[in-house]
Structure 1
Amino acid sequence: MESITSFTEEQEKPGYHFLDRNNIIIKKEAKLASSKIIFKGTGNILFLEDGVQLKNSTISFLGNNSIIYLSSNKYEYRISTAVHNNCAVYIGKNCYMSSPVKILSTEGQSIFIGNDCLIALNVVLRNSDAHAVYDIETTQRINYPKSVFIGDHVWLGMESVILKGSQIGSGTIIASRSLVPNRIVPSNSMLAGSPAKIVKKGVFFEHQSTHTWTDTEICVHSTNNNSKFIYLKDDMTINIDEFIKKIQSCSTPQEKLNIYIYIYLVITIKIVFVSVIQKPTKATHSDPLS
C-alpha cells in the first residue's frame, strides 16, 4: 500500500507521476491539506485538473484499473472517496462541498457528478449494495450494481443518500435526509422523503446563501427571472445509456480518462446526457421530462 499525505518536490511539478505498481497521478497545480491518497491496487489513475485543492479528504484506490477525475474548482474539495476494481468517479467543475462527501464506487460501475453542484453536509453516493442478494426460487442475484449520474447545478441536501442506478437531472434539488434509490429524476425538480418523491416540478435555485440577507435583500430577491439554470433537452443532449456502455467498454483506465477529458473540454460546456443532464436554454421554463 502506498499512502500520500503530501506531494514530493518532484510530484509538485505538473505532469505524469508514476508510482509503484503502475499507479499514476496526473496533475497540474494541485494541493493537499490534511488529506491523503491511498493506492492499494495496481494500474489506477488519479487525474487532478488545475486548481484542485483537497482539504480533509481521503481518496482510496482499493482495487485495480480504476480512475478518479477531479475537475478544476474554485472551492476546496472535501471528499471521502473509495473505488474498487475497474471503476470510475468523475466530479465536474466548481462543485461546493460543505463536508467530505462520501463516494463509493464498486463492481466496475461509475459515479458521475456534473458542474456547479451544491453538496451539503454528510451526503452519500454509492452504486452498489456491497452485499449480493439472491432469489430463493431462481437462485439468481437480484441486486446488481448500477452507475450513478448527477447533472449540472444539482443541490444535494444535508444527509441525503443517492443509491445505485439514480440519474438526477440538472437543476434538481434533493431535500435534506432524502433517500434516492435507483430512479430517474427530471431536471428542475424538487424531491423529498425516504424513498424520495417529486414534490414540485419546474423549480431552480441559486448558489448564493440567504443567511446574511437584510430585509432589503430579501425583498429584492423575492422574484427571479434568471433562466440560466433551466434545463431542456436539445440536439446537444447525449444519450446516457450510450455513455454508460462506452465507459463500461473501456478496457483500461486510460481509455476512460480520454472520454472524461473530452467531457471536461467539450461536452460539459454545452451539456450533456439524455433524459437527465441537459443543456440550459432561455426559450422556455417547461420541463421536457414531465
Structure 2
Amino acid sequence: MNGPDPGSRHPMDGFPQVCFIRNTITHPNIVVGEYTYYDDPEESEGFERNVLYHFPFIGDRLVIGKFCAIARGAKFIMNGANHKMSGISTYPFQIFGNGWEKVMPEPGDLPYKGDTVIGNDVWIGYDALVMPGVRIGNGAIVSARSVVTSDVPAYTIAAGNPARPVRQRFAPDTVARLESLGWWDWPVETITRHLELIVSADVDALAAVAPKD
C-alpha cells in the first residue's frame, strides 16, 4: 500500500466531504498537483466555484502544488475582478454594450497582478481569501478567514486582514534545506516508507533518506 489513489475523486471510502480536486478541474487555467484536497461537506467536487472572476480571455492561471489542504469556503479572486481605477468612475460600463462599449479599456488600463501560485504542502484555512497574483510558498499556513493580499514566504504562518506573517515555522536555514529536499516530489513509495520522518521535525533524519540524484 502506497497511500490513496491519486486518481480518485474521493480517496476516503464513504467520506465524500474530501475531494482530490485535481480530478475535478475543468478550467484550462487551473493547475492542481496530486493529493491536494478540498474539504467541503456540501459540495467538495465544486472547488472551481470558489475561483472567482477567472475569465479565459484574461489568461491568468491559478497554480496549486501537491499535498495541499484547502478548507471549506477558501476562495481565490482572479484578475478578472479588477476595474479601471485611473478615471473618475470605476463602473464597468463597457460590459453592458448598447453603446457603452465605446469606453472599452485599452491594454494596460486594468490592474493585472499575474498568476496566483500556491506551493506544495500548503494549508489554507476555512473561509480564507486569496487575492490576484499572490504567491504562497511551500509549507505555509494561511489561517481561517485571512485575506491574503501579498506573498507569503515558505513555511510561514500568516493570519489576519490583510494577512501578515505571524511566525516562521522553522529557522531560515532549515527552510532552505526543506525547500531543497522537496519531499513532495519524491516517488510515492519513498514518501510512504518515510512518512514518520515527513511528519516529524527531524530535518537531519529526513535529509538522510532523501533520494539521490
TM over 0.5, shorter chain: yes
- 1:66-105 alignment, distance < 5 Å: 76-77=19-20, 83=27, 88-99=29-40, 100=44, 101=47, 102-104=50-52, 105=54
Q: What SS is found at the alignment partner of 1:164?
A: coil
Deviations 1:4-63 (A, max 9, x none): xxxxxxxxxxxxxxxxxxxxxxxxxxxxxxxxxxxxxxxxxxxxx9623279xxxxxxxx
Query: Which aligned runs of 4 or more in structure 1 are off by greater than 3 angstroms?
Result: 77-83, 229-234, 280-284
Distance 1:231 1:149, change over 3 A: farther
Q: Distance in 1 between matches of 2:142 and 2:203?
A: 24
Is the Cα contact below 8 Å between 1:168 and 1:184 reproduced in 2? yes
Identity of aligned residues (%): 22
Q: Distance in 1 between matches of 2:176 and 2:34?
A: 18
Structure having the higher strand fraction is: 1
Deviations 1:200-245 (A, max 9, x none): 11259xxxxxxxxxxxxxxxxxxxxxx9x986454x99xxxxxxxx
Is the Cα contact below 8 Å between 1:154 and 1:173 reproduced in 2? yes
Q: What SS is found at the alignment partner of 1:132?
A: coil
Q: Distance in 1 between matches of 2:39 and 2:177?
A: 25
Give the CA RMSD over aligned residues: 3.7
Is the Cα contact below 8 Å between 1:179 and 1:194 reproduced in 2? yes
- 1:5-44 alignment, distance < 5 Å: none
* Equivalent residue number for residue 110 of structure 1: 61
1:77 Cα deviation after fit:
3.5
Structure having the higher helix fraction is: 2
Q: Distance in 1 between matches of 2:123 and 2:177?
A: 14
* Equivalent residue number for residue 155 of structure 2: 188
Deviations 1:65-99 (A, max 9, x none): xxxxxxxxxx634699674xxx5111111112112
Q: Which amino acid aligns with 2:120?
A: D
1:149 Cα deviation after fit:
0.5
Q: TM-score, normalised on structure 1? A: 0.43
Distance 1:93 1:82, change over 3 A: closer
Q: Which amino acid aligns with 2:7?
A: G
Deviations 1:170-228 (A, max 9, x none): 111000000112x2211110000111000111259xxxxxxxxxxxxxxxxxxxxxx9x
Q: TM-score, normalised on structure 2? A: 0.57
Deviations 1:239-280 (A, max 9, x none): xxxxxxxxxxxxxxxxxxxxxxxxxxxxx626xxxxxxxxx9
Which residues of structure 2 form unaligned runs of 5+? 12-17, 89-105, 187-197, 206-213
Task: Please tell me whether residue 282 in structure 1 is matched to residue 198 in structure 2.
Answer: no
Q: Which amino acid aligns with 2:78?
A: N
Q: Which amino acid aligns with 1:97?
A: Y
* Equivalent residue number for residue 95 of structure 2: none
Q: Distance in 1 between matches of 2:77 and 2:38?
A: 17
